[in-house]
Amino acid sequence: MKNIVSLLLILFIGVSSKAQDIDVENIILNKVALDSKPKLIVGIVVDQMRYDYLTRFYNRFGDGGFKRMVNEGYNCRNNHFNYIPTKTGPGHASIFTGTTPKYHGVIGNDWFDKELKRNVNCVEDESVNPLGTASNDGKKSPQWMLSTTFADENRLFTQMRGKTIGISIKHRGAILSAGHSANAAYWLDYDHDGNGNWISSSFYMKDLPQWVKDFNISKITESYFKEWNTLYNIDSYTESGSDLNNYERIFKGKERATFPYDLEKLKRLNGNYKIIAESPFGNSLTTDFALKAIEAEGLGKDDFTDVLTVSYSSTDKVGHDFGPNSVEVEDTYLRLDLELERLFKALDKKVGKGEYTVFLTADHAAPNAPAFLQSHNIPSGLFDLSAMLNDMNSYLQQKYGVANILLSRINNQLYFDYQKLDDHQLDMKSLKKEISKELLKYKLIDKVYLTSEINHFEGPDGHLETLLKNGHNQKRSGDVLFTFNPAVFKDTPWNRKGTDHHSGFSYDTHVPLLFFGKGIVNGETLQRTEIVDIAPTISALLNISFPNAFTGKPLDFVLD
């Protein structure tokens, strides 16, 4: 009996000792797993950045910005958007959710709502209150975005201990990047004679933090009402066309779109704070605010990974005004390179070199100005969408005796008035075919699709029909879709100079994708990657759940 008791005691001690060893091993493994995660993820979106800006201006960049990311990180050289339309709202939503408008629901910056029978903005929300402003620009939230972002998943994984902060001059750039569960999203009140404050909404908090209020009264924003001249001697800007040309918009109060630009003198006629957003100083201001957020919020200071999203919007503003071939765009990117260096140096100091991970991409690219292309015998043009809508309604009225059957033509999509179709017993299928035939008569329209057809198309990645399908949301999209010839976009007074974006052509879809920092290998690839691959790649790096509607793939070759 004693022998049996002794044996059991030895077994118990052995098992207990082994269990303790396992517990210690688990603790060590958990600590290693925790230590292997970056303390901070920084998602940078450069609004309207063509891939070739990275290569065209590369030799002029310093070593601490774009070049640091390329030399120390991973460069996906063949990265594309995989849907239409290529616009800011869908771009930011797709980058951070890992899926396309088909699933996340942000089908444009604005779209026609079939129930409200009006255009809605992708981040509008009348149920929230503005913070830091009395303007409706503060009534914003991510309510229209249907899926989670990787930042949302990180918040859930860490039991809300990991922070998320979104920052951009544009509200949609801040809000859609940060996601639904963010601690905060901040944007600049610059449009419609805004007050120049960094603002938010009651969706995130009851009141602005004191550090934001302090920033707003510091006059840092006002300090950028100064002269914008070229960073270097203008004769050295050989990667651009002539500063004096006929392809660029002219600020009110100036006779020509040429350097220098005195923002203090020009502000009154150009929307006051808006002119800062339309200069490279808007990017400098964004960096100023991001650095303050890192410090004040203690980002990257504990064992729970935080997420900071920074969308540099002024590149888009300058691009729209002056076009890809302008000295203004080149100067803006040379200055942005310095802003990236300033951000990375601060992260090295505040979070720790090798303790954070950054990715950089763009929400879309852009073509050259149509008039510039035409001057070099390259086909391009402008299409009057409003006139086309009037023509189509007149045609249908003559044929069916019903006025204004079509309600909207936004985002190259036509929306029927379903009530009128029911009241007059009109067959939608027949109407769609009628409209399609008429649309194809326009010289600058290339293809027309019925949504009932495009939704069932199966084709390889990158094909036009696949891009249209990925951008189509059954509840929100229109009834007929059409696409233009290459280098054609809508004709408005705004678009007759500078550039625009929306298409599935490579000049709109090909954007940079750079990864850099903890957990990232050094290298590059020409393998096709897509914008929806970013979110699952970051999720894989963090060992967290993928965003709930993701359709991209983790880029395993990027991860260490």
Indicate which residues carry an active-site annotation.
Answer: 88
Residue 459 dihedral angles phi and psi, to the nearest 5°: -155, 175
Distance of CA 399 to the CA centre of its chain: 43
Q: In the block, which residue shows the tokens 């000049």?
A: 507
- Give 225's Cβ-side CA count (13 Å radius): 14
Give the burial class of 508: count Cβ atoms within 10 A of its Cβ; 0-12 exposed, 13-18 middle, 19 or more buried.
Answer: buried
Phi-psi region of 230 (alpha: psi -120 to 50; beta: other; left: phi over 0): beta
- H or E segment and range at residue 314: helix 314-322
- How far, in Å, CA of 282 to CA of 335, rounded? 11
CB count, 10 Å around CB of 260?
11
Cα–Cα distance measured from residue 120 to residue 476, given in angstroms and rounded to the nearest whole number: 11
- Give me the count of residues in the chain: 560
Query: Do 42 and 166 form a contact (C-beta atoms < 8 A)?
Result: no
Q: Are strands 529-530 and 79-80 parallel, antiparallel or unpaired?
A: parallel
| Under 8 Å between Cβ of 523 and 483 | no
Computed on alpha carbons and rounded to an integer, the radius of gyration of the chain in Å comes to 26
Helix ranges (DSSP H) in 415-478: 418-423, 428-439, 451-454, 464-470
**Tokens at 206, concatenated:** 């009851």
- Cβ neighbourhood burial of 291 (10 Å; 0-12, 13-18, 19+): middle
Closest CA to 289 of 309, 273, 272: 309
DSSP classification of residue 61? S
Q: Coil, strand or helix: which one is 124?
A: strand
Q: How far apart are the first and last CA of the chain?
A: 58
Distance CA 95, CA 551 (A): 11
For residue 258, count CB atoms less than 10 angstroms from its CB and return exposed for 0-12, middle for 13-18, buried for 19 or more. Answer: middle
Alpha carbons 130 and 137: distance in angstroms, whole number:
7
Map 255-296 to HEC letters: CCCCCCEEHHHHHHHHCCCHHHHCCCHHHHHHHHHHHHHHHH
Nearest one of 162, 199, 158, 99 to 307, comparing CA atoms: 162
What region does 468 belong to: left with phi over 0, alpha with psi -120 to 50, or beta?
alpha
Grouping H, G, I as helix, E, B as strand and the rest as coil, residue 367 is coil
At position 350, the amino acid (one-letter code) is: K
